[in-house]
Structure 1
């Protein structure tokens, strides 16, 4: 919670300071590629009000994110997604709009690039979100078990050092390479008392299975507590064979 809050506030402050420096202190060099343009183009862009409007876009983005920030202190589960979704869409739409202030000879090219980037970024986020929300299953085989879906893998029963059914999940502190959603944690995280671990967790759905292997620590559960217990029973029996 506090880590996310620090990230959000930091992004807001960065956008606000950049926007203020560009708009009020003529820090036009802060705009990507502006300093490398011919002097004639720079003067034309300034005359069109392009740098000032870029600064204004950054300030408005920070204000919008600040308005949405209180959502993090409510029970609304998708506060992070809403805030960063607003940031991405508002910035990209603003960049497309600002192409009208480009120098005439580069306006069409800039418009095409901006639209293409918007489609690629939004499309990429959409695809990533789709796969992130996809579920997973624990499948037991004769000599191994497999966890399906993103970050899933297959492990031999003989590699299991211990298995435990927990009523409470230890504190998850840092996401190192994974998906952290309001209702789901999937991927590589740091867990208090366990270190680097692989999580497949439906939040708030006790119990949780902890499997410790030679080179991996795995936490997994399902929304259905009975299915979680069944997985635990199946793997426990296999480790005794």
Structure 2
């Protein structure tokens, strides 16, 4: 039986393309699922590909904002069509951003840090009340 070479080549291309799309989808879903900030005794932790380990003593300021920074640009991370941002970002007014935003709807928790690797952390949750609850929980742990 003779195999049609063109058919085999096309089949292989489609198979590899489908596998690549599946791998990318798994990585994106894994990153979003693990981008959940945990408020612990010593600080805020996010596990996963773009992890965060921020001690409370390294927090200079924390505030709630309704919008994301203008010109948010991915350095190393995931920008899910402007609806979710996870990883390392920058903007014209803020460099060295760690972003864990799973909804493009505010509010957003802006944290200014003393860390040299990242100066700012921006976090939110899908639901507004969960973001506000997280903000209040972090704020209560910061010693002023």
TM range (shorter): 0.7 to 0.9
Structure 1 residue 219: Cα displacement? 0.7
Q: Which of 90, 102, 109 pairs up with 1:209?
A: 109
Query: Structure 2: 5+ residue runs without aligned partners?
Result: none
CA distance in structure 2 between the partners assigned to 1:174 and 1:141 by the alignment: 29
SS of match in other structure, 2:24 = helix
Structure 1 residue 164: Cα displacement? 1.3
Matched pairs, number: 134
Report if the CA contact (8 A) 2:79-2:86 is conserved.
yes
Structure 1 residue 180: Cα displacement? 1.0
1:162 corresponds to: 61
CA distance in structure 2 between the partners assigned to 1:119 and 1:129 by the alignment: 15
CA distance in structure 2 between the partners assigned to 1:150 and 1:220 by the alignment: 16
CA, structure 1 residues 173+156, in 2 after alignment: closer, same or farther (shift >3 Å)?
A: closer
Whether 1:124 aligns to 2:23 is no
1:197 corresponds to: 97
More helix by share: 1
Select the structure with the greater relative contact order (CA < 8 A; seq sep ≥ 6): 2
CA distance in structure 1 between the partners assigned to 2:19 and 2:43 by the alignment: 37
CA distance in structure 1 between the partners assigned to 2:48 and 2:15 by the alignment: 26
1:230 corresponds to: 133
Structure 1 residue 206: Cα displacement? 0.8
More strand by share: 2
Q: Which of 85, 89, 94 pairs up with 1:185?
A: 85
Structure 1 residue 146: Cα displacement? 0.6
- Deviation string, structure 1 residues 83-113 (Cα, Å, up to 9, x no partner): xxxxxxxxxxxxxx9x539xxxxxx8xx49x
CA distance in structure 1 between the partners assigned to 2:43 and 2:16 by the alignment: 39
The structure whose Rg is larger is 1
Across the aligned residues of Structure 1 and Structure 2, the Cα RMSD in angstroms comes to 2.6
* TM value normalised by structure 2: 0.78
CA distance in structure 1 between the partners assigned to 2:113 and 2:17 by the alignment: 38
CA distance in structure 2 between the partners assigned to 1:100 and 1:223 by the alignment: 47
